[in-house]
Amino acid sequence: MSDDATEPVLPVEVLQLPHIADQLRALADHLQLVSTYTESHKFRDLEVAWEKSGADPEVDAQLDEAYATAMRQTLLGLAQFRRSYEYWERLIAEYALKSGFTQREAASYLGVAVSTINRWAQHPLTTEDQR
């Protein structure tokens, strides 16, 4: 998986709705990729082999390792998604404020406290904030 699930950062001053749409699609694609870690055909093949072998300890160990690997990849992918999502949620909120939405409106639509939007407005994102 790529270390950069997002496109290069755009300052809120040049951000436009098509950029936001592109980014939301990229985030959805990233989350879809993460979901594939838990649907591997390898699991099904190993489970079938395990059942046919009468619970062979060697196959059991392979199955355990496959599950552990998938869980590690899933957790890492979700952490990366969360960082990207949080960054873009904040950037989009800043864009909404610059587009005429009130802090109360932005907070209500995002389901966050007005104090969160106020804090974000007082400390706008910089290009260094993108992870």
**In a structure prediction context, what are the per-residue pLDDT tens digits for the chain, which is 131 residues long?**
444 444 456 677 778 888 889 889 999 999 999 888 777 666 677 777 777 777 778 877 887 888 888 888 889 999 999 998 998 999 999 999 999 999 999 999 999 999 999 999 999 887 666 54
Structure tokens at 79: 């952490």
Torsion of CA 125, 17, 131, 110, to 10 degrees: 70
User: Considering the entire predicted model, what is its pTM?
Assistant: 0.71
Residue whose entry in the numeric block shows the structure tokens 């496109």: 7
- Nearest of 45, 31, 18 to residue 80 by alpha carbon: 31
